[in-house]
Structure 1
Amino acid sequence: MKKSLLYTGFLLLSINIFGQETNDTILKNNTTNQEENLIDDEPKFKHSLGDLNIKLDDTGDRYLKFGLNSQVWLRSIENNPGTLVNGVEQKNTYDAGLRRMRVTMQAQLSPAYQIYVQLGINNQSFIAGGGSGTGANGQGKKPAIFFMDAYNELAIIPQKDFKTKQTNNFNLYLGAGLHGFNGISRMSNASTGKILMADMPIFNYPNIENSDQFARQLGIFARGEYDKFNYRFAVNKPFATNLQPQIGQTVDNNQSGKLSYSGYLMYNFFDKESGSTAFLPGFYLGTKKVVNVGVGFYSSKEGALSQPELGVYKSHDHSVLSADIFADLPVGIKSKEMAINLYSVFYRYNFGPNYLRNLGIMNPGTLDPNYPGTVAMEGVGNARNLLGTGNIWFTQVGFLLPKFSETVKLQPFASYTLKDLEGLNEQGSYYDIGANLFVFSQSAKISYQYSSRPLYDPVNKKQFDRKGEHILMFQLAF
């Protein structure tokens, strides 16, 4: 209770500090005639910090656009039973970490050709995400920067005709490289700089850091629009996995080297969303009237391996199907600038018999070999049953409160996840609740979130406990 009051007090203090009026001339948008060429073609927000654009010609058809995204986490973690942190038993851990640090560049070298690059780091904490050992290269220090996206794209049928400048009802773009044009769902194609919650649920990326590289694979993709439909399809070469299963276990193993196929089709009922990059925003703060439905898939032959009995191995296909709905709508009196945000998705995973995967984001814990009690089947630290063969239903909702400042907005949110997985004997419910404090609209954000997760007994595979986690996130993105 004291922790929750501490975080709430910090949010209220932030409102008081940032809620004062700011000189409009300092915060005026960096608006140019190339607004239609922004990376994700999203609307300008009042009092946003603008964009980092460099025009390469007078028409705005050739340009460089740069983006930055910094997400810093402060956490209080209620650890799973049997957890050691840096060799010391800890029931609760306080830490700070860099959840995401990103730099992006989009080079529109001609109306028909662009290059997109994103690099940075993820998940650096005091104990993980960097080097190993002690001293100058101690645990968590000096993480390696890597490319998350690196692809080229060619306009086959452009959104606007190069000569007449007329809009084409159907457009087609082809690209190749390391990319995030994923299938499955909207949330599998999410902009991490514009998410409603403090973080993704992560099961929206079913191959995360196994057969993909931070939700990206190497391959080719096609994307575009037809009337109110937005589509994206990809054929990729999954990153190699060769885990070996124990008896009765199914693990990621794609040694046969099969390709993966994915796609997502979305229909826009009202305002159309852009698909000019892989990333779809999680909110518009009521500046658009958006209601979309979508369906998606992912498939890869022989992506898993099981050992049903000693010395007997069997390959299994990876497949995921999904259906989802997204809405971001202004509500109430226009001058109050209120908005409601809703996203709901259903996933059907088939990764082989009783497949289960556990994960803890920036997990600080290791197993205490001398712990006398029950160690959860999820593992230690903040680990949870992430996904598995079976069904997952996820819903999140946010409400933008009435305007009380020219530069600050407050948005409470909540989410619920129901996991019905083949490898467990009881369904699991996961809860998240919190709020976003937007400063200068989406450019700067402070988020608080409390998450509650069930823990499962490794013998009867039913719930025996629950643990929680507090997250305070500071984000700057533009």
Structure 2
Amino acid sequence: MLSANVIGQETKALNDTVIKENKEIIESVKNTEGPVFKHSLGDLNIKLDESGERYLKFGLNSQVWLRSTENNPGTLVNGVEQKYTYDAGLRRMRVTMQAQLSPAYQIYVQLGINNQSFIAGGGSGTGANGQGKKPAIFFMDAYNELAIIPQKDFKTKQENNFNIYLGAGLHGFNGISRMSNASTGKILMADLPIFNYPNIENSDQFARQLGVFVRGEYDKFNYRFAINKPFATNLQPNIGQTVDNNQSGKLSYSGYVMYNFFDKESGSTAFLPGFYLGTKKVINIGAGFYSSKDGALSQSEEGLFKSHDHSVLSADFFVDLPIGSKSKEMAINVYSVFYRYNFGPNYLRNLGIMNPGILDVNYTGTVAMEGVGNGRNLLGTGNLWFTQAGFLLPKFSETVKLQPFAAYTLKDLEGLNEMGSYFDVGANLFVLSQSAKISYQYSSRPLYDPADRKQFDRKGEHILMFQLSF
């Protein structure tokens, strides 16, 4: 048996070794370029060969909302009149898998749920299968992709200045704008403005359509183009109304091209991040389009129907740059985009994210054009201009960063007689990485009178979001 003295000596030696190793780890962290904070939580990777060219990569995205909503006039929530509604919800819950089966071939899938609240997003009725309960998990992305000309030559391993990839399936290579290809795990604000997805849940499935796409790079250009079969719509318009109706079954065509002035961004998936927190030097400009023949239907007078094309054009500008002293680790982020929508005469669409309300049929006041709950005029034929900006404050912690932000939207829509201004302000609190954050946002929206189609009121909404994404 070992003596107590020998055991004590071995324990001391082990402790000294652990302390030494910990010091080495700390020193290596200090000597890395920038703090640990700058790095994302990383990927869950499983290598399928020693080279690492064949692998499985998994990702998770969880966004939980706590919210206070100032409801539009005439709102009932669960059968009770409510001017304000307080709730919690699962805005996004996603699981992704990227399978690089060979250097030339990959499969990408994403599944999960969206927009589950106490009253919406699940079943219908009451009790165990009541409203909001047990939402069905569905695929948001499911596509195959083949490298025609790979980014890195299979044999020489040299970078190709021009590369092209061909894919098919349910995908989010939407064209139009950077924000139409947004990574929802890395958005500047608590949420996207949503009008960046012109067909959201009408002729697409949560911003995806079925079809084929090509994507790739040429020097500092990044491009993506797609030909899709839109999901079927068959709404019937009232007199003087234009609605989504693509019963003639035409295809859709979309594309987006951006130019990288400084650091090049990855295009290996459909999704582009909304920020880099100064870890890259990025200035990009881009332009895109979406088009589908006979995507809308109007009724100008009783029994007189006419089909109209869906058309969207856009141009945008994105900046994410470190500024000031390197030791302060500050950064600015600016994104601005202009959309020109043409979905037929006076086309107008309203939407409220996780809308808690229904109409009180006994309400005698003015019911807004936007409807009830948190409904807003989302998009329509006309012009939309959106700008957001964020500023990463000087370093005050090794593990925490603070980024105030603000956004402004101007909507000039044919179906309204007055332009509308929308405001958002808030801040992101990043913890340990870019992917773990707590966001607060206040949003102010105008409401329109259906009689004169002009503004008569404004309402607001507070969102507190907890996010973990990698």
TM-score (norm 2): 0.93
Structure 2 counterpart of 1:203, from 195, 200, 204? 195
CA distance in 2, matches of 1:239, 1:203: 18
1:404 corresponding residue in structure 2: 396
Deviation readout 1:346-399 (Å, 9 max, x if unpaired): 000000000000000000000000001000010000000000000000000000
Structure 1 counterpart of 2:411, from 401, 405, 419? 419
Deviation readout 1:405-452 (Å, 9 max, x if unpaired): 111100000000000000000000000000000011212110000000
Secondary structure of the structure 2 residue equivalent to 1:335? helix
TM-aligned CA deviation for residue 288 of structure 1: 0.2
CA distance in 2, matches of 1:453, 1:23: 53
CA distance in 2, matches of 1:420, 1:50: 42
CA distance in 2, matches of 1:349, 1:299: 10
Structure 1 counterpart of 2:261, from 261, 266, 269? 269
1:281 corresponding residue in structure 2: 273
Structure 2 counterpart of 1:136, from 111, 128, 142? 128
1:320 matched to 2:312? The reply is yes
Structure 2 counterpart of 1:448, from 440, 444, 451? 440
2:177 corresponding residue in structure 1: 185
Equivalenced residues, count: 443
Structure 2 stretches of 5 or more lacking a match? 1-21, 30-34
1:171 corresponding residue in structure 2: 163
Structure 1 counterpart of 2:47, from 43, 55, 67? 55
1:109–1:44 CA distance, 2 compared to 1 (3 A): farther
1:474 corresponding residue in structure 2: 466
CA distance in 1, matches of 2:48, 2:153: 20
Displaced runs of 4 or more, over 3 A:
22-26, 43-48
CA distance in 2, matches of 1:196, 1:152: 29
1:440–1:25 CA distance, 2 compared to 1 (3 A): farther
TM-aligned CA deviation for residue 51 of structure 1: 1.8
Deviation readout 1:152-201 (Å, 9 max, x if unpaired): 00000000000001111000000000000011100000000000000000
Amino acid at match of 1:204: N
CA distance in 2, matches of 1:131, 1:187: 31
Deviation readout 1:304-342 (Å, 9 max, x if unpaired): 000000001000000000000000000000011100000
1:296 corresponding residue in structure 2: 288
TM-score (norm 1): 0.91
TM-aligned CA deviation for residue 47 of structure 1: 5.4
1:164–1:387 CA distance, 2 compared to 1 (3 A): same
Conservation of the 8 A alpha-carbon contact between 2:38 and 2:434: no
Deviation readout 1:243-291 (Å, 9 max, x if unpaired): 0000000000000000000000000000000110000000000000000
CA distance in 2, matches of 1:45, 1:110: 33
Structure 2 counterpart of 1:228, from 220, 225, 249? 220
TM-aligned CA deviation for residue 138 of structure 1: 1.0
2:329 corresponding residue in structure 1: 337
TM-aligned CA deviation for residue 44 of structure 1: 9.0
Deviation readout 1:94-134 (Å, 9 max, x if unpaired): 00000000000000000000000000000000000000111
CA distance in 2, matches of 1:150, 1:129: 22
CA distance in 2, matches of 1:265, 1:342: 19
1:47–1:317 CA distance, 2 compared to 1 (3 A): closer
CA distance in 2, matches of 1:319, 1:443: 35
1:248 matched to 2:219? The reply is no
- Alpha-carbon RMSD: 1.6
Secondary structure of the structure 1 residue equivalent to 2:154? coil
2:382 corresponding residue in structure 1: 390
CA distance in 2, matches of 1:317, 1:442: 41
Conservation of the 8 A alpha-carbon contact between 1:196 and 1:282: yes
CA distance in 2, matches of 1:184, 1:294: 9
1:183–1:110 CA distance, 2 compared to 1 (3 A): same
Secondary structure of the structure 1 residue equivalent to 2:294? strand
Amino acid at match of 1:320: V
Deviation readout 1:66-118 (Å, 9 max, x if unpaired): 00000000000000000000000000000000000000000000000000000
TM-aligned CA deviation for residue 46 of structure 1: 3.6
Conservation of the 8 A alpha-carbon contact between 1:420 and 1:428: yes
Conservation of the 8 A alpha-carbon contact between 1:47 and 1:407: no
1:299–1:44 CA distance, 2 compared to 1 (3 A): farther
2:5 corresponding residue in structure 1: none
Conservation of the 8 A alpha-carbon contact between 1:432 and 1:450: yes
TM-aligned CA deviation for residue 49 of structure 1: 2.7
1:47–1:154 CA distance, 2 compared to 1 (3 A): closer
Secondary structure of the structure 1 residue equivalent to 2:228? strand
Secondary structure of the structure 1 residue equivalent to 2:327? helix
Amino acid at match of 2:164: L
CA distance in 2, matches of 1:417, 1:356: 16
CA distance in 2, matches of 1:205, 1:332: 35
Secondary structure of the structure 1 residue equivalent to 2:200? coil
2:148 corresponding residue in structure 1: 156
Conservation of the 8 A alpha-carbon contact between 1:347 and 1:393: yes
Structure 1 stretches of 5 or more lacking a match? 1-21, 30-42
Question: Alignment identity in percent?
Answer: 89
CA distance in 2, matches of 1:191, 1:24: 36
2:11 corresponding residue in structure 1: none
1:10 corresponding residue in structure 2: none
